[in-house]
Amino acid sequence: MTTLYNPLINGFHPDPSVVRVGEEWFLATSTFEYLSGIPIHRSRDFENWELIGHVATRPGQLAVEDVPTAGGAWAPTIRHRDGVFHLVITDAMGRGMLHFTATDAAGPWSDGDLVRALDGSASVNGIDPDLAWGADGTAYITYSGLILEGENLGQHLGIQQVRVDLDEHRALEEPRSLWSGTGGQFPEAPHLYEVDGRWYLMIAEGGTERGHGISIARGDSPEGPFETAPQNPLVSARSTIRPIQNTGHGDLVVGPDGDWLCVLLGVRPRSMTRAFSALGRETFVTPVRWEANGWPAIDPVLLNPRPGTRVDIDFSAVRELDGEWIAVRTTPASVADLSSRADAIVLHGTGRTLDDPRPVFLGRRQEHLTNAVTIGIDVAAGVGGLAVRYDERFHVEVEAGDGVITARAVIADLVQEWTVPLTADVLELHIDSRPPAPSGGFPRTSDVFHLAASVAGERIELAEVDGRFLSSETTESFTGRVIGAYALRGDIAVTSWTAEGDDE
């Protein structure tokens, strides 16, 4: 019997899509402005998942260099046909709607072809594309008609569909409107499935916040017309006390026991009113049952976290970056210098702070609600530190160099700093995310950041910062917390990395 862990994939992994190939499952998620882009996780039992690669590993595959915050890689769909993996996605405010292919899901993937509109002048204008094939081999891209460019920017046309030529990467018709849900806002994340000779169109609606949910319709053709399921929404946590909220944006697949499953996004909010989701949108899973009337029923998403984890990296022994490292609007390889020192990763500061859209920053996702990260750092030749980043307007950090250790909180236009003298060039920097201390009432935040440094073995507590300020509800970010080292100016050397956490 398969144990369904929830989260299925911890930390910032939104908009999941999954495909089964033989006895393996492959799962893709969104990355927005981060690279490497679009991680691919593989499982052979649906319990243990391994990051095997990324779709976008080279400059030019995604045009994220200059996308605004919240732009970039939105909502992939991964499918497999005739020995080839296909992935369609919108590079929002970047290249547009793209189609990638690979014979191995671990990569390398193609450079990505623009899916052009019928007249060939520009990309099909929409988001969250799905790819499906009819019985006669006709390829369909079904998508959410949110317009991201031009004079109609922001207009939403509902769920739309085009037949496409995947060799020429061009729509074969003008977009057609399909079933767009039950009236909830932002109908999106469409997926088409043929089950027992009938076609099911599953979408998300209600917005990706607390009203999020999944609805479904069915018809005799991938083009419709579609009839609405009587029990919509199939799943939603709205107006419930469930610990996992915002459940929606799902994809269906047959699991290892022959039972159907739905992978979907959700958040784990905390505080008195469960108002703040520290880690952003994560990937979850829940069982699906097919009723006698031919409609699917999706179970509520139940919390079942994995045991805690610890990651120790000694850069004198590990001379290559693993796939968990990501960078902002550039590749990790362009940020991390692995050759200047045999015992460290060196980051070369350019004067850009974390307020800049392209900081010199190398990070990993925060995976646990209770979490502690420590880096060893040498700042003899520069200034830099350890930071938790949501985006350029929301971050906290511990910075060292030029004779000073500074703890800093940047919350939109509000900045607060705490400083102490620096008496050594080699030290450790710490950022811990801990539950709020008991105060005799209900906690009113998600967690508390503890910012500290250790010099010559002595830990110096610098500041405590309310974690609600780096939550998806406060930042209104589509991403999540990413913790990493950064360089401000000169050269800083990161000699070690330790991350430890759990979800108790």
Active-site residue list: 15, 188
Contact in structure between 88 and 76 (CB atoms under 8 Å)? yes
Cα distances (angstroms) measured from residue 279 to each of 9, 153, 275, 397, 433: 12, 29, 13, 17, 11
List, in order, residues 6 or more apart from 338 with CB less than 8 Å away: 319, 320, 321, 345, 346
Q: What are the phi and psi torsion angles at 130 (to 5°)?
A: -115, 150
- H/E element, 418: strand 414-421
- Could you give the CA distance from residue 401 to residue 147 in angstroms, rounded to a whole number? 46
- Could you give the CA distance from residue 65 to residue 332 in angstroms, rounded to a whole number? 13
What DSSP string describes 251-291? EEEE-TTS-EEEEEEEE--BTTTT-B-TT--EEEEEEEEE-
Nearest CA-CA partner of 285 in 69, 25, 502: 25
Tell me the two tokens of residue 50.
Answer: 């391994």
The DSSP call for residue 333 is: H
